[in-house]
Structure 1
Amino acid sequence: ENSWFSGQCNVTSYEIEELLATKLKALYQRKKGRDLFDLYWAMIHLDIDTDKLIHCYKVHMQHAVDKPPTYKPFLVNMEEKLTDKEFTEDIYVVLRPDVEYDNREAWELVKRELVEKIR
């Protein structure tokens, strides 16, 4: 309840796995450390169906690129990004001071739980 709306409404949204699939796609395609953070944070705080997420990722990538990356190209892509200061530091300016976060720890979780399933 507030001064400009009273009542109920239905809101259509994505399932979390589809939303995170777009984050995984973005993690590969652009150089924004926040994509890694978002995946990591969701995975440690939410109950994610990783098989469903990977399925959605593969569908999105088939429509986005001619040849979707498999495990090895994804690893190479990320290892390069993890040595890039712009990628590794962009998230810290927007994190609350009480949030502890480590890019390497996040990458190990995302790699183990998601990227290793892209084969």
Structure 2
Amino acid sequence: MGVELELHANRPVLDWDRSRRTLIRGSYAHGDELADILLGMDDTHQGNLARVDPYGDTLFNEQQAQAALREVADLLTQCSEPSQTAALLDLERLLQSCSNTPGSYLWFVGD
């Protein structure tokens, strides 16, 4: 199981082939680590990242990405392995890009 990330220029059609038209860039290297991080968040975590479904698809618009960006620093302090840190830093870059790109969406593609 893993969570892939895709930054889209506008709201993507949740269909793999048709969504390629709006794709800006994706991240496919840290899916398992990112899923582990998301599943490992405790029940007290109330932020936007707690809404991500590692088993399904979740979309963040630019405002949600901006809010989730503030959550990454806390999660980085909880990393126990370099691969987790790499996954969160990759997520942080894409959240930042989404929050800086009007009309964009970050698609969390769950498995």
- TM class by smaller structure: under 0.3
Q: TM-score, normalised by structure 1?
A: 0.26
Larger Rg: 1
Higher helix share: 1
